[in-house]
Amino acid sequence: MKIQIPPFVHSYPAPAVLVGCGTLEHPNLITVSWFGTAASDPPTVSLSIRKSRHSHRLVLANNEFTVNIPRIADLEAVKYCGVRSGKECNKFAELGFIPVPCPPLNEAPMIDECFFALGCRVIQVLELGSHDMFVAEVVSAYCNEADLRPEKPDPHAEEQVVFLDGKYWRLMPAY
């Protein structure tokens, strides 16, 4: 028999992504696990950022961001970007990441070292209590040539980083 418990969120694994925001001259990164597909046509994603975060202000200022997909080998960078503020440091420089343009975006950098990145333009901001949800159209996608399958990048599912109950996990095949 089930019993009622207090409501909570984040009970299922969520992808841990590195969001690029700011500008090429003043780039910033934040780890976000509240990210997902919102629609397929046009390709649209949603991303929630706590209003108190430095990155929140940067995304609002330029109405664009990049979503960079890390691999398990990038776990230390994922953890670092989740606990350090871009107000206090240049995460790109400290991690040895190279910020590169993500055309047609005007400002937001993508991470050269990540195998896959999405360029996103904000089309709506929903105020949802502690976080704002940025709904954005995916206006570009970039991947390493070596990771391209016929039409889409290899997702490297076994190397993806997910977040659940305050911990980072890797995905494993079910069959």
Please name each of the domains of the chain with its CATH number: 15-170 (2.30.110.10)
- The secondary structure of the chain in percent helix, strand, coil, rounded to multiples of 5, reads 20, 40, 40
Does residue 64 come out as left (phi exceeding 0), alpha (psi in the -120 to 50 range) or beta? beta
**Residue 3 reports pLDDT greater than 90:** no
- Using a cut of 0.85, tell me whether the model's pTM lies above it: yes
Express each pLDDT in 79-137 by its tens digit: 999 999 999 999 999 999 999 999 999 999 999 999 999 999 999 999 999 999 999 99
Cβ atoms within 10 A of the Cβ of 6, count? 4
Query: Quick check: 152 pLDDT over 90?
Result: no
